[in-house]
Each structure stands twice: as structure tokens, then as C-alpha cells.
Structure 1
């Protein structure tokens, strides 16, 4: 593997580590900083833009976002995609949610950034879904969300 590709992988891994640390620490600025300006997060039947993140992160349960090493595939010099398993442990009662993220990454003037992140939850019954859209605590996406 080329040394430049190794550097790209390390940069993306660090980007994703900052996301997990930011979510664990309830630091919305750190979470927003890992996304491209037009980045989106998809879950719960909705697509949220970066402008929605402060309200979305505030509504999220607090706890530990434990992630593993992502599997990354490069689509060219400035784009890539990947998947990253997640185990979330709620701080209040130590209940867990497991699943994985499906991502796209873009190289920006500020380095690699998440462009899209979509959550898939793994359920006890063996099903997989993007979450329950009816949670009344979760905000609806704002009008600034990209389609």
C-alpha cells in the first residue's frame, strides 16, 4: 500500500475517533467539526444536516460510543466510503445498543471529513433497521438539510 494511502487511512481513523470521543463527551462542536459543511447523518427515518446537529446531539442519550477500526475503500483521490461497527453503552443504566455506521468521506481543504453517516441498529430479534422514527424526544430535521 502506498504511504500516501496509509496517511489517508490514519487521517480518516482519527476523524472517526474524534467523532466517537465528541459524542461520548457530549461535545457537539467536536462532532460538527468532523463533517463536511454539507454533511448529513441519517437515522430514525430522517436525514439531518450539520445545522441540525446541536439539537440532535442534545436529544441523544448520553454514554460511551465505542467504535472499532473502520473498513475503508477509496473511490479516487478525494472520496472514500467505509463501515464502522459501534457499541453504545448508556451512562444512566449501562444498557447497550449495537450496530454499524455506513459512511462516505470527502477530502476537503481542511483534510478528510465525513460527508454522510448512516446508522444501522442490530436488534435482538435479528433484524436491522435505522432506528425508531417515532421517538418524541428526537428533533425533526431542519429545512437546511440536504436532500
Structure 2
């Protein structure tokens, strides 16, 4: 059994792997941070892992900068919120917001079960965004 400090560090490293992997375009490493039934939600929809590569491919590329997460870990499950600042590599335009996450301890360590994006708009509104241009199958 691990203690709470070890759990927090492992989850922080998991989320760092998410940010670095998506910044570098390493989709295989990105998928490793999720449970097999994990989902990513944004743009008003939840995407399964088999849909995630096409979603990432259609999204703008750039730098994902994240804060340390605010975590609530209880046994083998947890929740958290993590701030995000995305900077487009070509224009340097920014998008800001935060992720609402759920985590699960698996035999392979902590993994994201769900990750939901909330954008913070210039008008101060917080929302999941407009439907994405990604074509779902």
C-alpha cells in the first residue's frame, strides 16, 4: 500500500506525462495515461480512447502548460482540477482553462479515468466550447 504523498507524486507525474506527450505529439504515450475505458470531454462531447488520436490530430498544435493539480485522493480513486494554458505553436495565440479529472489506481499505477476540459473565455464565461470540427465515425 502506498501513502498519500506517493499517490500525489505519481498522479502529478501522470499529468506531466499527459502535457508533455500531447505537446510532443506522442499519441501512444498520451493514451497510456488513461484507463482502457477512459474518456476525454470537450466541445460538448465525450470521446472514447479509440476516437482520441483523430481528435488530437485535428486539434491545433502547441505548448500545453499545466499547473500542479488540486487533488482529492481516497483509496484507489481520486478527483482533481488542473489549470491549463495552451499556446499555439504558429500564432502564439493562447487558450486558457482547466481540466476536471477522475483517477483510478490500476495494476499499472494511477491512470486518468475521465478528463473534461473547461475553457475560460475572454468574456469570463466558463464552458466546454463549441462543437469541434473533428468528424466522428
TM-score bracket, normalised by the shorter chain, equals: over 0.9
Number of residue pairs aligned between Structure 1 and Structure 2: 136
Aligned positions of 1:127-142 closer than 5 A: 127-133=125-131, 135-136=132-133, 138-140=134-136
Please state if 1:13 is matched with 2:12: yes
* Superimposed CA distance per residue, residues 8-51 of structure 1 (whole angstroms, 9 cap, x where no aligned partner): 00000000000000110011111100000000000001100111
Structure 1 residue 60 displacement after superposition:
1.2
TM-score, normalising length: structure 2: 0.96
Q: Residue 121 of structure 1 aligns with which residue?
A: 119
Identify unmatched segments of 5+ residues in structure 1: 143-147
- SS of residue paired to 1:120: strand
- SS of residue paired to 2:86: strand
- SS of residue paired to 1:86: strand
Please state if 1:105 is matched with 2:110: no
User: Partners of 1:139 and 1:80 in 2: how far apart?
Assistant: 32
- SS of residue paired to 2:28: helix
User: Partners of 1:7 and 1:139 in 2: how far apart?
Assistant: 40
Q: Residue 91 of structure 2 aligns with which residue?
A: 93
Q: Note the aligned Cα RMSD (angstroms).
A: 1.1
Structure 1 residue 139 displacement after superposition:
2.9
Tell me if structure 2 keeps the 8 A contact 1:59–1:139: no
Identify unmatched segments of 5+ residues in structure 2: none
* Superimposed CA distance per residue, residues 101-132 of structure 1 (whole angstroms, 9 cap, x where no aligned partner): 00000000100000000000000001111011
Please state if 1:53 is matched with 2:49: no
- SS of residue paired to 1:81: strand
- SS of residue paired to 2:3: helix
User: Partners of 1:19 and 1:139 in 2: how far apart?
Assistant: 23
User: Partners of 1:14 and 1:94 in 2: how far apart?
Assistant: 26
